[in-house]
Amino acid sequence: MPLPQNFSEWEHLQNQVRRLHNERVREFFADVDQDDDISSPRGSLKQACLLKDKDSAIITAVRMMFFEFSVGNARSLQAPIYGMPVDQFQEEFEVSYRPMVRLYFSQDLAAVPNDLPPIRQEISFRLMNETSETISNGDLSLLANKIRTKFWTYDFNKGKIKTTYTDPSKGYRLSINAISESEGLNVIQDVLSIQGHTIEDKFLNVKDKPRLSSDNSPGTKTILGKPRKGRRWRPTGTVRFRFANISICGLAKDPILVDKTGTFPQAIISN
């Protein structure tokens, strides 16, 4: 169907942006009943954040940035994380650890149900033959190429079967939740292959298959008087490789080895 006569791209975009943005603003200020009441501090903030039909593109952008960054809604874009800054951790705990490689996987956004975060998987291992002082830029490039060769188009199916591989002498404490035992074993072997290792049965453990089924739709529970999403239990879904980095003691920022997301322009290998 062709666009109607006198169709305005800006008006159309503005209407869609205003509709979605104002829904989020009203949810954030659910305690403020009216839109035009500036008699209270939060009412005044709400009025400043709501998009109006007469707003120019610049005013629209300013209101949205004000809501996200000054009022603080952008905190909802990042899930809370238990942790501390890398430099603080290294100073307080006086760590001098072997370099740790991390591979990150996540579910395609198009496959994620509404109001749920994507399924994720982080797989890490240490380079026991290296330290922060021995590892070189050449080593990082070689490692990045090995990861790209094995994982650039890699995906696997997460599920309820937990397979672990524990060999501290070679830097492995792997735990994979996969849809089947064979899937978990394949992932572990592919991770070990980066360093040229193979599975040794004495370090392998497959947890007893739980009778409980994976729970992808946990429903809601009431917390502090409001309905909240329940906790999923080992949900099933396909996760794809996204990027890999390496943690080196003494560096506050982890070098990015491989990036498929376009998020890290400094990556050794990227799109």
Euclidean distance between the first and final Cα of the chain, in Å?
Answer: 35
Mean pLDDT over all residues of the chain?
Answer: 87
CA-CA distance, 166 to 16, in Å (whole number)? 51
* CB neighbourhood size of 158 (10 A): 24
The per-residue pLDDT for 71 is 83
Residue 84 has pLDDT above 90, yes or no: no
The per-residue pLDDT for 263 is 84
The per-residue pLDDT for 271 is 78
The per-residue pLDDT for 80 is 67
CA distances from 183 to 155, 162, 178, 229 (A): 11, 10, 6, 29
Say whether pTM exceeds 0.75: no
223 pairs with which residues across the strands?
226
pLDDT category at 220 given cuts 50, 70, 90 is confident
223/204: higher pLDDT: 204
Residue 21 has pLDDT above 90, yes or no: yes
CA angle (236 as vertex; 156, 117 as ends), nearest 5: 100
Residue 253 has pLDDT above 90, yes or no: no
CA-CA distance, 201 to 165, in Å (whole number)? 9
Question: Where does residue 72 fall: left (phi above 0), alpha (psi -120 to 50 degrees), or beta otherwise?
Answer: left
User: Strand, coil or helix: what is 181?
Assistant: helix
User: What are 28-73's pLDDT values in tens digits?
Assistant: 888 888 888 898 888 999 999 999 999 999 999 999 999 988 887 6
User: What are 116-141's pLDDT values in tens digits?
Assistant: 778 899 999 999 999 999 999 999 99
Residue 149 has pLDDT above 90, yes or no: yes
User: What are 136-146's pLDDT values in tens digits?
Assistant: 999 999 999 99
Residue 221 has pLDDT above 80, yes or no: no
User: What are 159-208's pLDDT values in tens digits?
Assistant: 889 999 999 999 999 999 999 999 999 999 999 999 999 999 999 998 76
The per-residue pLDDT for 105 is 95
Is 182 buried (19+), middle (13-18) or exposed (0-12) by CB count in 10 A? exposed
Asked if residue 106 lies in contact with residue 117, where contact means CB atoms within 8 angstroms, the answer is no
pLDDT category at 27 given cuts 50, 70, 90 is confident
pLDDT category at 233 given cuts 50, 70, 90 is low
The per-residue pLDDT for 79 is 65
CA distances from 176 to 94, 170, 260 (A): 30, 18, 22
Mean pLDDT value of segment 245-259: 92
Which residues are within 8 A (CB) of 205 and not within 5 positions of it... i.e. 6 or more apart?
163, 164, 165, 166
